[in-house]
Amino acid sequence: MNYKVLIFDLDDTILDFKAGEKKGLKAVFDTFQKSALDYDAWVSAYKKINADIWQQIELGKPAQPLLNERFSKTFAQFDQEIDGAQAEATYRQVLDVNDAVMLGAKDLLDGVKQEGYQLVVGTNGKTNTQYNRLALTGFDAYFDEVVISQEIGHVKPSSSFFAHIFKLYPKYDKANFLMIGDTLTSDIQGANQAGIDSVWLDHGTQHDRLSQEHKPTYRVKDLAQIKALLA
């Protein structure tokens, strides 16, 4: 291994996105439902719609108009009409203060920082949300560079997203970069297209067929395994 630069995804890699998502969804549901709905059914509908929206975003479609539709589309399935942009703003307010982290994240970051690796955030998402969460957790202190899709105008898995990172480190070859993330269709596919190695943090929630389509260099079940891999 000759890795010098470690590129970390944020959501559900080192920051616990699902913890904030759970609170955010409950806030939207409680605020905007106009008649009694089954919460679990509503969440299930939302997750299907949201997955489709993020597939479109990863293909390069403008993010904000799509995000502003996800809650209005969800409520529409239950014959309720709401202001999607207002619901999105409510959801975002909760996400912005989510300081939950993944198990083992601090230990991993401590270790690789001490080993002298250059650490880069490489994440999709809203600029303010991601910076706020990094600051709240204190994880911003670990990273030499922060690259966020909204801020640079390119979304993982596009080659342009990774090209932006490569330009930050002109003295390194692609063999010196390692992408670490939990999503096959953005982190791993993006790394493969960019010609760099990758670590897939497998939470067991993605269809195994995708791991054949987007093969990672390494596959781990938890962050402790990444620390051991890089030791």
pLDDT surpasses 90 at 231: no
User: Do β-strands 5-8 and 118-123 pair in parallel, antiparallel, or remain unpaired?
Assistant: parallel
Task: Give the separation between CA 108 and CA 114, rounded to whole angstroms.
Answer: 10
pLDDT surpasses 80 at 59: yes
Summarize pLDDT for 113-149 with one digit per residue, the tens: 999 999 999 999 999 999 999 999 999 999 999 999 9
* % of the chain exceeding 90 in pLDDT: 91
CATH, domain 18-95, list 3.40.50.10800, 1.10.3720.10, 1.10.150.240, 1.20.140.10: 1.10.150.240
Looking at the whole model, is its pTM more than 0.85? Answer: yes
What is residue 150's predicted lDDT score, i.e. its pLDDT?
96
User: Which of 11, 12, 187, 197 is the catalytic position?
Assistant: 11
Fold of 5-16+100-230: Rossmann fold (3.40.50)
Instruction: Reduce the DSSP state of residue 20 to 3 states and report it.
Output: helix
The CA-based angle 202-43-52, given to 5 degrees, is 60
Q: In what order do the strands lie in the sheet with 218-220?
A: 145-148, 118-123, 5-8, 177-181, 197-201, 218-220
pLDDT surpasses 80 at 195: yes
Is there a catalytic annotation at residue 52? no
User: Which of 9, 12, 16, 197 is the catalytic position?
Assistant: 9
Sign of CA dihedral 18, 210, 222, 228: negative
pLDDT surpasses 80 at 228: yes
Query: How high is the mean pLDDT of the chain?
Result: 95
Is there a catalytic annotation at residue 30? no
Q: What are the extents of the domains in the chain?
A: 5-16+100-230, 18-95
The DSSP call for residue 82 is: -
Task: Give the separation between CA 226 and CA 104, rounded to whole angstroms.
Answer: 10
